[in-house]
Structure 1
């Protein structure tokens, strides 16, 4: 048996695609609103709000015998601040904080809740703690500052660790961001709905207009019979795709 294999190319009319999207714009917007609403409900019900408390300290280290702080002291202190940041998350410091506050967590869990930051070209060390309880976050931050201050003066032999800011008691959760989640949900819903419309448009190969007959069958249309408005289409009549119509014409 001889089989004919035809290479079909899919061409997309951008104008028709835009019109297809525009005709379903109400559904696309509705999908965006629905997904944004789902994001709002999910954020409120299933995501635990987290609070962040921040404390900062200043580490003073002198390399010479002079009473003042020299430029060399500043350079050395800036480089050592990176070491101090690692010391904040060291096991002895974390274990001491857990013991003092009687926390029900491991050192690994506490380490994940702690972030350290050093402002460029300064010796200011900032420690932030995230927790679902704002009061606990403040207590952990203060305990970390006190514990690491002792470790810095004993191990790193710093001259002094001065407190710049004590840990604050956060009033508003730092995460999750409700507005950001709603915006992401709305955009995702719009993109998904638009993608479905585009996919339906691409896969739809039914013959609808005289131009489709000329394009798919290569035949000239002599006339067309318009359907009167308000006339109900018979449920038994089904549209033929271009591929099925081509096969029937060949017979």
Structure 2
């Protein structure tokens, strides 16, 4: 019970310290939030995405009716096709066709291939600080990859169902998120400093501290004067 009482009093001390330094907490939060906004807005290069949709088929002849088994098989082939699309066989040909100055690993790092909602549709995405460059690369991937896939997986094929298009809004940096993260960091840092200050403070500052820490009764207080004024 005695320890619980001390913990409650310590918490009150922390709250009182926060109240006393509330202006500093607010200023620190605002400063780091503004720093996050400024870095995102003026120092980080915006990145854009271009994407295209391709549908996976398990057979080259699509004139006949497609069964559910074929759809399930095509869905499972998406992961296989994505590996082929990101292989050097496809991307190196894209580099050669467009005359890019990038190496294969550099281009592969900018290309993402993923299934759309676990369907037989896959999405090819290219990331770049130049939106038109991203669109051209994405479009070239959709031109080159079907023949490579057809040659590698003779029982299957892919077709473009949505040509390469650019997202007009940059996908990074996320200015709102970075601003919020900066504000949260400022709040956590300022509160952490206050908490540590209170936690490490073992000085006797008030009459209440004498009673609390020394278990003594205060019988008198000698005020300190400086220049005729009480400190």
Q: Same fold (TM over 0.5)?
A: yes
Change (3 A) 1:98 1:223: same
CA positional deviation for 1:86: 0.7
User: How well do the aligned residues superpose, as a CA RMSD in angstroms?
Assistant: 2.4
Q: Residues 117 and 223 (structure 1 numbering): CA distance in 2 closer, same or farther, change over 3 Å?
A: same
Match of 1:98 among 71, 95, 105: 95
DSSP 3-state at the match of 1:166: strand
Deviation at 1:70, TM superposition (A): 1.7
Which protein has the bigger helix share?
A: 2
SS at match of 1:165: strand
Instruction: Specify every segment of 5 or more residues in structure 2 that has no aligned partner in the other structure, as ranges.
Output: 1-5
Partner of 1:197: 194
Query: 1:65, 1:122 → 2: CA distance?
Result: 17
Q: Which runs of 4+ in 1 moved over 6 A?
A: 63-66
Partner of 1:17: 14
Query: What does the per-residue CA deviation read over 1:149-198, in whole Å, with 9 as the maximum and x for residues that have no partner?
Result: 11112211255432111111232111010010000000100110111111
Range with bigger deviation, 147-156 or 123-132: 147-156
Q: Within 5 Å, give how 1:145-224 maps onto structure 2.
A: 145-158=142-155, 160-224=157-221
Unaligned stretches of 5+ residues in structure 1: 1-9, 234-251
SS at match of 1:54: strand
- Answering whether residue 229 of structure 2 is matched by residue 231 of structure 1, we say yes
Checking the alignment, whether the CA contact within 8 Å between 1:49 and 1:176 is kept in structure 2 is yes
CA contact (8 A) 1:63 1:72 kept: no
The structural deviation recorded for 1:47 is 1.4
In the other structure, the counterpart of 2:3 is none
Number of paired residues? 223
Q: Structure 2 length as normaliser, TM-score?
A: 0.88
Cα offsets for 1:117-168 (capped at 9, x unmatched): 1124421111000001000000011111111111112211255432111111
Structure number with higher strand proportion = 2
Ranked by relative contact order (alpha carbons within 8 Å, sequence separation 6 or more), the top structure is 2
* Of 210-219 and 52-61, the range deviating more from structure 2: 210-219
Do 2:224 and 2:230's aligned partners in 1 also have CA atoms closer than 8 Å? Answer: no
Contact conserved, 1:59 with 1:158, CA < 8 A, in 2? no
Deviation of 1:64 (Å): 9.3
Work out which of the two has the higher radius of gyration on C-alpha atoms and give 1 or 2: 1
Partner of 2:79: 82
- TM-score of the aligned structures, taking structure 1 as reference length: 0.81
State whether structure 2 residue 67 is matched by structure 1 residue 70: yes
Are the equivalent residues in 2 in contact too, given 1:118–1:124 (CA < 8 A)? yes
Separation in structure 1 between the aligned mates of residue 40 and residue 197 of structure 2, nearest angstrom = 32
